[in-house]
Structure 1
């Protein structure tokens, strides 16, 4: 049995039970050090209550089903601000924010997220060509071409 797949199913069950369709699983990963980390997020944010409810439910079910044979630590939280965006829904919730995008080819792009779909993001970026004034250009970037996206924090 794939532990991470089972954990994802359990998280989805609990989200349905607590009737929060705006909450979603970002990732579930069992690390080699025995730490099972579940990241959840919400279109309108996610609080400690949801984390606690999901933690209790998943922990209880994993024990009941004896899914993990070794000792493990279960950690349920929302992704930190420095955690890369993974799910298309995370992009939608960050429309209007500045992003740093690492492309699959190794190049980097920065811009303001204007829109997001299931398979692409639209950013507004400043393009400066030598000897010319910087232009604001809207670019559509397919998610498959992105290796990592982080929200840029501004302290202005």
Structure 2
């Protein structure tokens, strides 16, 4: 229902969660766009999803709906999200348990090209190009720098 409520080509769904509450379940929809998502777009999407829920389950269904953008601490999960963060620093946890941190250079159809930070003896840092397939990624977050 969330996907069907999107304006064509502007936004994409990042995550949908429904709480376990039987009294008044909460539907949380995280959406994003290549240029981000505005409050007005969140409101419009919320109204469209609510209408679809009412059409499917009737108006007597009691629920709460929340539509927002994923916060900076929310992991990147969609290729479109990675594209928007090209040039930023990422921390990527892989299937084998290793982590790689570096600048996102490029997003391809199959994965990421990252300039991985490799610390040498002392304080010298070098950058090594690394290709990471999407299937190898367990979690990826933007690294926030306050420098």
TM normalised by structure 1 equals: 0.82
2:29 maps to: 38
Query: Which of 63-72 and 94-103 deviates more?
Result: 63-72
Contact 2:16 2:30 in 1 (8 A): yes
1:63 maps to: 54
Is 1:84 the equivalent of 2:45?
no
Q: Which runs of 4+ in 1 moved over 3 A?
A: 67-71, 128-131
2:118 maps to: 127
TM normalised by structure 2 equals: 0.87
**Aligned Cα RMSD in Å?**
2.1
* Separation in structure 2 between the aligned mates of residue 66 and residue 147 of structure 1, nearest angstrom: 35
Which structure is higher in helix share? Answer: 1
Q: State the aligned residue count.
A: 143
Contact 1:11 1:25 in 2 (8 A): no
Deviations 1:10-35 (A, max 9, x none): 323xx12xxxx232111222232322
Give 5+ residue unaligned stretches, structure 1: 1-6
1:3 maps to: none
Change (3 A) 1:96 1:68: farther
